[in-house]
Structure formats: C-alpha cells, structure tokens
Amino acid sequence: MKKFDIPAHYKSSIISHIKEMRKKDDPRKKDFAPTRLDFGPVVFLIARHFGFCYGVENAIEIAYKTIDENPGKRIFLLSEMIHNPHVNEDLRSRGIEFIMDNYGKQFIQWNEITSDDIVIIPAFGTTIEIENLLKEKGIDTVKYNTTCPFVEKVWNRAEAIGRENYTIIIHGKHKHEETRATFSHSTQNSPSLIVRDIEETTLLCKIIIGDLPEDEFYKFFKGKYSEGFDVKKDLMKVGVVNQTTMLASETQAIADLVRETMIKKYGADNIKQHFADTRDTLCYATNDNQSATTGLVQENADLAIVVGGYNSSNTSHLVELLEEKFPTYFISEAEKIVSNRTINHFDLHTHSEKATRNYLPDKRPVTIAITSGASCPDSIVDDVINKLIGFFDGAADTEKVLNSL
C-alpha cells in the first residue's frame, strides 16, 4: 500500500514501533490479538489495528502539500478535513479557513469564494450540488479533492446497481457529511433512502412486507428519502450500501434482514431480481479496526481507553464495542486524564463530557486496553500511554519494554 508523507508531529515512537513489528510478523493481518506491553504495575493491551487509515493519510498529505505549494493564496476546506480536533486546529493555525461545519452550516458565504481561491474537498467527499457550484466558480475540484477512495467505491457501487433499477438503501447517519455526499451521488441514478440502524430497518421491512401501512414510511423516514420516492414501486428492488465508518456488523445485519424480507415477499428463487449483493462496499480500515477491537474484548482488562474526536463516527463504534465488557473512557487527548484519580471523557449516551473519579483500580497490575479512531494521530496515543505510565511507581523503562517484544 502507498506510503504517505504526513507531518512528523503526527508520528510516534511507541505506536510506530508496535505497528512495524506487527506488520513484519503478520503481513496478511490475520492475527487480531492485541500487543501486550508489560510495564510491571501497569499492562497495556494495544489493539492490532487503529489510527490513521489510507483515506486519512491521503487527505492529510494533500492538505499540507497544498499549504506548502501555495504561499499567499487563500485556502479553504469545505468542512472538517477529518473528525479530529487536533488535525483541524493545526490546519486552521496554518491559515486554512473552513467554509461550513459538519452539518452544512455556513461560516463563509459562497459569494465570498472566487476562482482565485483553493477549496479542498475533505476525506468524506461532498455532494454533487456543492461540486457543481465550485465548478461554476472556476475552482479546481480534482487537484484538491481528498475524498477517500473507499468512499468513492461506495458511490461507484451505488451507481452500478442504480443503473440496474435498484433502489439504494444507505446505512448511515443522515446528517453526516459522508452520508449526505453518498445520498447526493446515489440519487443521480436511483431512488435512495437512509436508515440509521437495525431498528429503522426493521420498521422499513414491515412496510415492505405489508405489516405496516405505506403512509408510515413517509412519516418515519421524512427527510431521509429522495424526492419523488414511491413506496409502491421503489421498494421492489433494493441494494444496501453504507457510510464507511458505520459498524460493519450492523451493516451486514441490515443487509441480511432486507434480503430475508425480500425472500419472504418474492421467494428465494427470485431474490436476485429483488436484492443486490453489495458486501464489497465495506471499508477495509473500518473492518480491521472493529475486528481488532473485538480482539481486545476477548482479553481480560480492568478498563479501556479509546482516543479520538468526539464527533468521529468510526471511533464511537469502537467505544460501543468495548463498553459492552469494560469500563470504557472515550477521550480526545492525554490532557483529559486529569490525574490518577480523575478522567474527563465523552459519554456517548448523553452526548456530553463528564468527569469520573477512581477510574484506575487500586489493584496491581492494572491492565488497560487501548485503541483509537481512524482519524487520530498515533502521537496522541503515545501521549496517553506516557501519561498513564507516569502514575505508576516502579514502571519499567519504555525502550526496554518495546525491545522485549
């Protein structure tokens, strides 16, 4: 896989060493067991896969290269480059301005953007409507387009099955930039619909099978289906694609449920005429990170720490997997670890940050599972590990621990 040139301050010493070692020992990524770092009084279980993925590194390389090659030019980002506050703040500090937030709220009006400006399209991609607007302004939408190739793969698959008259069901968060972009692209060729989870899909399937009236569709999915959507004819042939950062197992469960529903309605012999197999749209990095997190869940740990941006979809799903077994703390940086007694962390259920006391047990050794989202720099994970080590008297030297692997 291509090597990207990313800024040195995003790289690490601890995590880089572990990743290189695991890559050498397991080049085909078949072993999802975590790496064990034994410092004596504290033991870390480091997930097999986490951190910057291909799409994120590609976007970061293009963004920093654009800054270096265009001194004096106004450079804009459509919205956040990726869902990590440190990366986005660093780009702002280098002069890049953001045109809108993650939900489309404008900070800078379109009439302020001219053909002399550079506009970077973020890794999530953008809608057809915004891309056309930029083209009309004479702005290059190719050179500075950092859309993840795996997101584009979803668009291409949706286009292919759309041309065969299948309706596109998108598993995603309808306000998320990537899902908005995918929806915009898929509606160019076919009716499209967004489902958030298995519960929404269950309701959809009841409508398909006739257990609920068609009017329920328009009420429940308001704002989530394409213009002119006709329940009578547009749910006869369907295919499922996903926002690439969603929980892969849930996307598969949604596809399986829809397929079973179509078999129930039309018969197994006719399934190919009513359901398109789209398993190949699942992102490799999302799959690897979630499989590695499942590997962590199979271990014994006293707590888990997940590092990443609080608005990161892929990171939140790692938290969901881990909190089923361990006390799990979702933090954006090492500074959230206030002391050996208090940690400030994001609660997915209340969507707010809270403080928890006595998060570290008094027992020795303490075993801590650690992973991060696909948009989190490894250097921040290093900072978290180093801060935690500092709370334990008699902890072994980091270099010796790494050399013993």
Q: Is residue 144 domain-resident? A: no
pLDDT in tens, 230-249: 999 999 999 999 999 898 88
pLDDT in tens, 191-227: 999 999 999 999 999 999 999 999 999 999 999 999 9
Specify whether 160 is located in the same domain as 251.
yes
pLDDT in tens, 85-128: 999 999 999 999 999 988 888 999 999 999 999 999 999 999 99
State which of 282, 305, 333 marks the end of a domain.
282
pLDDT for 102 equals 81
Specify whether 277 is located in the same domain as 166.
yes
The total of structural domains in the chain comes to: 3
CATH of the domain at 106: 3.40.50.11270
Specify whether 161 is located in the same domain as 44.
no
Task: Judge residue 52's burial from the number of C-beta atoms within 10 Å of its C-beta, 0-12 exposed, 13-18 middle, 19 or more buried.
Answer: buried
Question: What's 322's DSSP letter?
Answer: H
| pLDDT grade for 29, boundaries at 50, 70 and 90 | confident
Q: Is residue 2 domain-resident? A: no
Is 70 exceeded by the pLDDT of residue 1? no
Is 80 exceeded by the pLDDT of residue 337? yes
| Whether the bond into 85 is cis, omega within 30 of 0 | no
Q: Is residue 330 domain-resident? A: yes
- Nearest CA-CA partner of 227 in 176, 188, 268: 188
**What is the chain's length?**
405
State which of 136, 164, 198 marks the end of a domain.
136
Give yes or no for a contact between 130 and 139, defined as CB atoms under 8 angstroms apart: no
pLDDT for 21 equals 95
The C-alpha atoms of residue 171 and residue 89 are separated, in whole angstroms, by 30
Which positions are annotated as active-site residues?
Answer: 178
How many Cβ atoms from other residues are within 10 Å of residue 386's Cβ? 13
Structure tokens at 219: 């009420």
The Cα angle at residue 364 between residues 362 and 370, in degrees rounded to 5: 90
Domain that holds residue 107: 54-136
Is 70 exceeded by the pLDDT of residue 77? yes
Is 90 exceeded by the pLDDT of residue 370? yes
Specify whether 320 is located in the same domain as 399.
yes
- Nearest CA-CA partner of 371 in 317, 325, 335, 311: 317
Q: What percent of the chain has pLDDT over 90?
A: 92
State which of 104, 136, 168 marks the end of a domain.
136
Q: What is the mean pLDDT of residues 5-16?
A: 94
Q: Is residue 69 domain-resident? A: yes
- 3-class secondary structure, 80: coil
Specify whether 265 is located in the same domain as 386.
no
pLDDT for 155 equals 96
